[in-house]
Amino acid sequence: VPRDRNGLFHQHTLPDYKQHADVLENMIIKLYSKGVTTREIANLIEKMYGSHYSPAQVSNISKQMIPKVEAYHKLKLSDKFFCVYLDATYIPLRRETFEREAVYIAIGIKPNGHKEVIDYCIAPNENIEVWTELLQSMKSRGLEQAELFLSDGVVGMKAALAKTYPQA
């Protein structure tokens, strides 16, 4: 931050004590969420805006999403959904290596027809234990009843649903 003797100088392009604009941060977060690597984002920002961001800076900016994701998983759910779709898909995720992992997702349709992602989680592979945890989490967050659950033929799904949502 530039300084002057009287302490009266203020930048007009960036708020005080900021090194970059929120618009740029939002773009970095969106690119990161789409699977673009931190190094690719840093190169893209430098080419487009002339600002240098190290991959570590990009990583730190994207970490701002962690509290938002945690808050999402704690949100109170609507107590009723007409229908809930349960499915998992395998996508390549970069952790220590690039490996395909199962992304579990529950999408609900409310009685008024509105669709909503109820919950999701990531695990190395699809199994009934993870589905059971996801169903119990949805119940504890407020989803009391669903008329219909739709899923593929995961072994044990009927029993897990009968235990968590016996009226469905």
Give the H/E segment covering residue 70: helix 65-72
- Secondary structure string (H, E, C) spanning 100-150: EEEEEEEEEECCCCCEEEEEEEEECCCCHHHHHHHHHHHHHCCCCEEEEEE
**CA dihedral in degrees (105, 111, 114, 120; nearest 10)?**
-10
Average pLDDT over residues 115-125: 90
Q: Collapsing DSSP states into helix, strand and coil, what is residue 91?
A: strand
Beta strand 80-94 with 98-109 is antiparallel
The reply to whether the predicted model has a pTM over 0.85 is no
State the pLDDT at residue 48. Answer: 76
Interval 74-116: pLDDT, tens: 999 988 899 999 999 988 776 666 678 889 999 999 989 899 9
Q: Under CATH, which number does the domain 80-164 receive?
A: 3.30.420
Residue with tokens 């961001």: 53
Domain ranges of the chain: 1-72, 80-164
Please provide the average confidence, as pLDDT, over all residues in the chain.
83
Give pLDDT, residue 94. Answer: 67
Rounded to the nearest angstrom, the gap between the alpha carbon of residue 53 and the centroid of all alpha carbons in its chain is: 23
